[in-house]
A and B are shown apart, each in its own frame.
Chain A
Amino acid sequence: MSDLIERGATAPLAVSADWSELRDWIALLKPRVMTLVVFTGAVGLAVAPGHIHPLLGAVAILCIALGAGAAGCINMWYDRDIDAVMRRTIRRPIPAGRIAPEAALAFGVFLSGFSVVLMGLVTNWVAGAWLAGSILYYVFIYTMWLKRRTPQNIVIGGAAGAFPPIIGWVAVTGGVDVLPLILFAIVFFWTPPHFWSLSLWAHDDYQRAGVPMLPVVSGARETRRQIMLYTVLLAPLGLLPTLLGLAGWVYGAFALSLGAGFLFHAWRVLREPQDAAGVSLAGDTAARAAFRFSLLHLAGLFTALTLDHWLRAAGMIH
């Protein structure tokens, strides 16, 4: 090979050559989604009763991240046809031609197996089974079956993103309890208003790709109503840990104010000046604000729960 360069000649490599870079392989794992998964998984692990060696806890979180990344990678392999027509995704490694589809699939399948086996060996096999279940759910139920068939795809996909707190908890305790199930429900009901707020001003891509996102299928007016509905369900769910005595008043105060804040933003989205079809006449400012607040809402809620847990464990509050 170096001979060819030294000769200054051209090399017969262009078609089959692997042009990928490290960052392309990292991009396959959807690192931004991974951030949320790592965060909620770590909170599930932190608030679980019992003790886990810090290194083993860190490896458990790594496994959750790798499992989610692997599922995202297989998702990119499967969705490469629609990724190639959406502005947001056209530069991803597969549609851009930097990674071959079958290489991406192999990478995703290998990482799935690796993360599940490592989780099982390092913590316990119940956690490994939950991690495997979350990957299978995301790949088969969400990606392959329902994403392209129903406008409720975000609701169904939300469940996949809601597994990590349960997995983190099970990694410590070996079993499921009420609190991780409530955390699952919080992420599950948080996801639709979060993504639908975004989709209100960014649904052109989905329309082009034929993905039945709610604003594309049912219109903006219905999407605004659904955002309100899910936020109304989410607010009391956030208070449930305190009401059931599973968290203290510090968390309760945060949950109350964050829930009220999200309700206020959902109300603004619902009442924003709009035309007959529900399309914003104000540049979707309310939806953009609701999307931003939703990020703060989830981060605040889970951080408050961890803080509350530590303060109670230290005997500083009851």
Chain B
Amino acid sequence: MPAENAPPTMTKEEEAAFLRRRRGRNIALIVVLIGLVVLFYMITMAKLTSSGG
């Protein structure tokens, strides 16, 4: 018998949906981070090229 003040719970389906969304956010974050690394590298190369370095 759950207590009256027990925390709200998720069903199995809700939990699966929640984890799916969190995985999607994590993948997006790693893609953005890798994209930034590549972008900063390319910016550095472009700056060096355009300044004659």
Contacts and interface: CB of A to CB of B under 8 A. Distances in A.
Interface of A: 1, 4-5, 8-15, 17-22, 25, 53, 55-56, 59, 122
A22 B18 contact: no
Interface residues of B, number: 24
Grouping DSSP codes into helix (H, G, I), strand (E, B) and loop, the A interface class, with mixed when no group exceeds half, is loop
15 contacts: A1-B19, A5-B12, A5-B15, A8-B12, A9-B12, A10-B11, A11-B9, A13-B8, A13-B10, A14-B9, A14-B14, A17-B10, A18-B21, A53-B49, A55-B46
Interface of B: 6-12, 14-16, 18-19, 21-22, 24-25, 28, 39, 42-43, 46-47, 49-50
Nearest to A121: B43
A22 B29 CA distance: 9
Determine which residue in A12, A22, A25 has the highest number of CB atoms from chain B within 10 A of its CB, and name it. A22
Contacts of B16: 5
A13 to B, nearest CB: 6
Contact of B50 (A15, A17, A53): A53
A194 B46 CA distance: 39
Contacts of A17: 10, 18
A59 B8 contact: no
A191 to B, nearest CB: 32
Contacts of B15: 1, 4-5, 10-11, 13
A10 B2 CA distance: 12
